[in-house]
Amino acid sequence: MNLDFERAGEVLGGATQVALACHVNPDADALGSMLGLAAFLRSRGIVTVCSYPNEPLEPPRWASMLPGSDRLVPARRFPKDPAVMVTCDCAAFDRLAQLGSAATRAGELIWIDHHRSNDGLGTIPLIDPSASSTCEMVFRLIEAMGGEMSDDTAMCLYAGLVTDTGKFQYEATTPETLRVAARLREHNFDHARLVQALYEDNPAAYLSLVGLALGRLEHVVDADLVWTYLTQADLQEAGVHPGDTDDLIDVIRTARDVDVAAIVKQQKDGRFKVSVRSRGGHDLASIAGTFGGGGHRLAAGYTSDHGPAETVEILARALRGQPAVP
């Protein structure tokens, strides 16, 4: 791994322009790692282009807190055959969607990720499932490259570190994670305001949507599962952006004496995104992998072509250790 970091550092250090991409519907770890690395590269005189494959490009409300978010470009303006490309937080190639074509044509493809279910792609794969976040991986890459880290980079990386560890309470939080967080907090940025934007900045309409989802909550006792769902109609009626509901799973997972929590959210294409969390009794990365998704042992996700009820019945069968299809 150290040799891979050195090689990636040499490639980036010798580049004049670097194209950076993260996964569709990005979270703070995806955007934070991409924008943080881009800010560091720009400080070394390297031109950067940053994007992710949502059309239209509608950054989450908290993204404006991250330095460099105003530099994001739509996928159509991303280089078609970059000499050097970096992907951040992509557990699977299809998470790049239309930006995948640029990845296949890139001269060098540096693939930075921490998901156990990663495809292991790239000419230089930097993949460590023991890392708390992709932001922690980018911190290590920057250290390998050497040079001073700016406050902007530190702020971006801190955002991903905070969110992917659940404010430093998840299993992935290691002593090294806390050491990285301490190093980042030595920089001059308003960490309290950043975390407030990430966790405490919901419109009243969102709270009504939470009430709707909780009113639909169901307990599948023999699968040790609680779940709920939201449709596109729900989001449109409430006037809530889909990305604003990402934290809802953290409400569902507080159910006592239940191991697995799931929320099934309809996407614009009609399919349903399934987010699952476990208290420790199930390997969710393995289960999500059988449905074409992935993630971590206790936190994973995938996309379903079925409606909420059928999607959850299939998930429940997998949690019981039964074949997904009877």
Three-state DSSP state, 117:
coil
Instruction: State pLDDT tens for residues 204-255.
Output: 888 999 999 999 999 999 999 999 999 999 999 998 877 778 889 999 999 9
Q: Write out pLDDT tens, residues 94-123.
A: 899 999 999 999 999 999 999 987 777 899
Residues 6 or more apart in contact with residue 270 via CB below 8 angstroms: 232
pLDDT more than 70, % of the chain: 99
State which H helix or E strand residue 152 sits in.
helix 151-164
Tokens 């040499």, located at residue: 10
Q: Partners of 125 in the beta sheet?
A: 111
Strands 260-266 and 272-278 come out as antiparallel
Span 303-322, pLDDT tens digits:
999 999 999 999 999 999 98
The two most distant CA atoms of the chain are separated, in Å, by: 58
Same fold flag, 2-199 and 204-319: no
pLDDT > 60? residue 132: yes
CA 278 to centroid of chain Cα atoms: 17
Could you tell me the residue ranges of all domains in the chain?
2-199, 204-319
Kindly report, residue by residue over 279-299, the tens digit of the pLDDT.
Answer: 999 999 999 999 989 888 899
Residue-level pLDDT at 1: 65
In this prediction, residues 41-60 reach a mean pLDDT of 95
This prediction's pTM: 0.87
The answer to whether 113 touches 131, Cβ cutoff 8 Å, is no
Pair 180, 139: CB distance under 8 Å:
yes
Find tokens 């794969």 and name the residue.
125
Strand locations in the chain (E): 17-22, 47-51, 84-88, 108-113, 124-127, 218-220, 225-230, 260-266, 272-278, 294-295, 299-304
Query: In this predicted structure, what is the pLDDT of residue 324?
Result: 65
- Of 3.30.1180.20, 3.40.50.2030, 3.10.310.30, 3.40.50.300, which CATH number belongs to 204-319? 3.10.310.30
2-199 is a CATH 1.20.120.420 domain: no
Q: What is the pLDDT of residue 17?
A: 98
Q: Average pLDDT, whole number, for the chain? A: 94
Comparing 161-175, 177-191, 226-240, 241-255, the range with the smallest average pLDDT is: 241-255
What pLDDT is recorded for position 121?
86
